[in-house]
Amino acid sequence: MVSRLQRAWLGVILCLAMVSVVWAAPTYNFTTVIIPGDPAFTQLLGINNSGTIAGYSGDGTIVPNKGFTLVLPSSFTAENFPGSDQTQVIGINAAGDTAGFYITGGVTHGFTKIGTTFTTVDFTMFGSVLTQLLGINNSDETAGYWQNAGGTQFPITWKGGTFTPLDSLLPSNTSAQATGVNNAGDVSGFYVDATGTNHGFLLMGTTEKTLDFPGSTFTQALGINNAGDVVGVYMAGGATHGFLYNGTSFFSIDDPNGVGTTTVNGLNDKGQLVGFYTAANGNTDGFFANPVPEPCSLMLAGSGMLVGLAALRRKLMR
C-alpha cells in the first residue's frame, strides 16, 4: 500500500516532470517588426534587459544600411556613424551603449557608441582590410572580427583600445567570427573548418565548446546572455532555423511567419529573443519573441519550490 508520504511525493515528482517538459520546449509569442519607410528590409540583432533593441534597415545594395535602436512597439531612433555611407547597429548593453560597423568609401570599420560618443575601432595589423564589431557587454568589451585581403576572418575581442585574438583557441583557424560577449567574458561565435562547414562555438576562458545543432549541415552561434545561453542559426534539409542552446540542450526556433527562413541573432537575460526571417513576399522582416511563462513554474518556482518541498516533507514525516 502507498503511504500518505509516498502519495505526496508522487504528486511532487509528477509536477516536476511537467515542469521539465515545459522547460525543455520553450514557446514564444512572436511580434513582427517592420521599420516605417522601408517595408522590404528590417533586421533586429540585439536586445538588452530593458527591452531596447539594436538593428538596421536597408539591404545594403538597393537601399543603404541605416542603423537604429528601438523601444517596442514602434519607437525607432536612428543611429548612424557620423558621415558614414552605411551603418549596422548590432550589439547593445544594459546602459544602451552599442557596437556595430559602418562603411565609408567602400571600407568597413567597427564602431562603438558609448553614451553619445562614437568611436571607430579598426584592427590595423597583419594586413587587415576590415573590422566588424558584433556584440558588447556591460563593461563595454566588444566581440567581432577582422579580415585580411584573402577573405580570411579572425575573431577578436576589444576593450579600452586592446585587441585580444581568439583564433588560436578554436579547433580550426580557416575563418571565424566572435559574435557576442557576456559580462563574464564568455564569447559566442562560429568558425569554418577545412571542409568549409560552419560550426558554432562557445568560449569560456580558454575552454572551447563546439556547438553543432543535431542533424544540421551548418551552425552559427550569434549571441549570448549572462546565463551563458546561446542563440544562432542552423541549416538542415535546405531550410534555415533559429536555435537556442541552454548549456545542455538545443531547441529549434521558427517565427510562425518564417518557418524555415528564421535567424535568431540576440537574446537578453529574460529569455527574450530578436532576429529576422524571410516573409512569403520575399521581404526581410524583424521579429521580437517573448517567452511564454511555464504553467507549473507558477506553482513551483525557484528557491521557493525547494523550501516548500522541504517543509512538506517535514510535516508529513511527523
Query: Using one digit for the tens of pLDDT, what is the confidence trace for 278-316?
Result: 999 999 999 999 999 854 444 344 444 333 433 333 333
Span 262-272, average pLDDT: 98
What angle do helix axes 302-317 and 4-24 make, rounded to 10 degrees? 170
> Are residue 142 and residue 200 in the same domain, yes or no?
yes
On the question of pLDDT at 22 being above 70, the answer is no
Low-confidence winner among 5-14, 124-133, 221-230 (lowest mean pLDDT): 5-14
Calculate the alpha carbon distances from 160 to 51, 157, 178, 298 in Å.
26, 10, 17, 43
> Are residue 205 and residue 234 in the same domain, yes or no?
yes
Q: For residue 193, give the H/E element and its range.
A: none
> Are residue 252 and residue 222 in the same domain, yes or no?
yes
- Structural domain boundaries, residue 5: 1-27+293-318
> Are residue 88 and residue 187 in the same domain, yes or no?
yes
Burial call 46-79: b when 16+ CB within 10 Å, e when fewer: bbbeeebbbbbbbeeeeebbbbbbbeeeeebeeb
Phi, psi of 221 (to 5 degrees): -90, 125
Residue 305 to residue 313: CA distance in whole angstroms? 12
- Which residue type is seen at 129? V
> Are residue 172 and residue 50 in the same domain, yes or no?
yes
Structurally, the chain folds into a number of domains equal to 2
Name the one residue in this structure whose C-alpha cell is 529573443.
Answer: 273
pLDDT band at 130 (very low <50, low <70, confident <90, very high): very high
On the question of pLDDT at 3 being above 90, the answer is no
148 CA to centre of own chain: 26
> Are residue 88 and residue 43 in the same domain, yes or no?
yes
- The per-residue pLDDT for 25 is 63
- The per-residue pLDDT for 186 is 98
Pairing of strands 42-47, 117-121: unpaired
Residue 177 to residue 136: CA distance in whole angstroms? 14
> Are residue 15 and residue 109 in the same domain, yes or no?
no
On the question of pLDDT at 185 being above 90, the answer is yes
On the question of pLDDT at 129 being above 70, the answer is yes
Span 272-281, average pLDDT: 98
pLDDT tens figures, 76-113: 999 999 999 999 999 999 999 999 999 999 999 999 99
Burial of 156 (0-12, 13-18, 19+ CB in 10 A): buried
- The per-residue pLDDT for 293 is 84
> Are residue 249 and residue 274 in the same domain, yes or no?
yes
**What pTM was estimated for this model as a whole?**
0.85
> Are residue 239 and residue 158 in the same domain, yes or no?
yes
> Are residue 108 and residue 229 in the same domain, yes or no?
yes
> Are residue 311 and residue 246 in the same domain, yes or no?
no
> Are residue 85 and residue 195 in the same domain, yes or no?
yes
What CATH number corresponds to the domain at position 37? 2.120.10.30
